[in-house]
């Protein structure tokens, strides 16, 4: 099957209007992605303690400025389910565009596969954290950062490819 795919096609070979449409798509996708990231910072879930409090609550500490309560199992399953499905589609659509770039094969392979690993580790880790494995807050923090760095690198390579001069 792999031999049937034209590996010579590149995004830069698209007509200008198609490259602009791809750029608009990547921009819109990024607005959505970084809006979600802004929400993470808004809920103070950008630290290990913040991640734990967001899912396990802080009602045992009455001196906190904002009281948070432990999430129920139904809410946790909804969070994990919706995030894994939606973010996997973000990486799949960006990955299709990245596939048709001039990024070296090994780096491209990493950028195409890594986000799914980080996605499962991040949201599986959040569920395990809620389940009582408190150390998972650190794993979630690292995998979430890696997932975001991978997204930024993927988008940067796509944009670079869309602005590159077409080659015959």
Other CB atoms closer than 10 Å to residue 149's CB: what's the count?
13
Other CB atoms closer than 10 Å to residue 139's CB: what's the count?
19
Q: What is the pLDDT of residues 143-162, one digit of tens each?
A: 999 999 999 999 999 999 99
CA gap 76, 8 in Å, rounded: 44
What pLDDT is stored for residue 7 in this prediction?
67
Q: What is the pLDDT of residues 77-120, one digit of tens each?
A: 999 999 999 999 999 999 999 999 999 999 999 999 999 999 99
Tokens of 1: 């099957």
- Give me the residue spans of the domains in the chain: 14-60+68-163
Contact 144, 33 (CB under 8 A): no
Burial class from Cβ neighbours inside 10 Å (0-12, 13-18, 19+) for residue 161 reads buried
């Amino acid at each position: 099957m792999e031999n049937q795919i034209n590996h010579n096609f590149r995004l830069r070979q698209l007509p200008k209007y198609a490259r602009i449409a791809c750029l608009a798509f990547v921009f819109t996708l990024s607005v959505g992605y970084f809006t979600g990231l802004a929400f993470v910072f808004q809920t103070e879930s950008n630290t290990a303690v913040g991640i734990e409090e967001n899912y396990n609550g802080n009602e045992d500490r009455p001196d906190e400025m904002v009281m948070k309560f432990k999430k129920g199992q139904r809410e946790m399953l909804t969070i994990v389910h919706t995030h894994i499905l939606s973010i996997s589609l973000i990486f799949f659509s960006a990955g299709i565009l990245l596939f048709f770039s001039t990024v070296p094969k090994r780096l491209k392979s990493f950028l195409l596969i890594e986000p799914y690993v980080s996605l499962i580790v991040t949201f599986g880790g959040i569920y395990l954290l809620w389940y009582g494995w408190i150390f998972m807050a650190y794993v979630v923090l690292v995998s979430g950062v890696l997932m975001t760095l991978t997204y930024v690198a993927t988008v940067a390579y796509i944009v670079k490819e869309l602005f590159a001069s077409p080659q015959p």
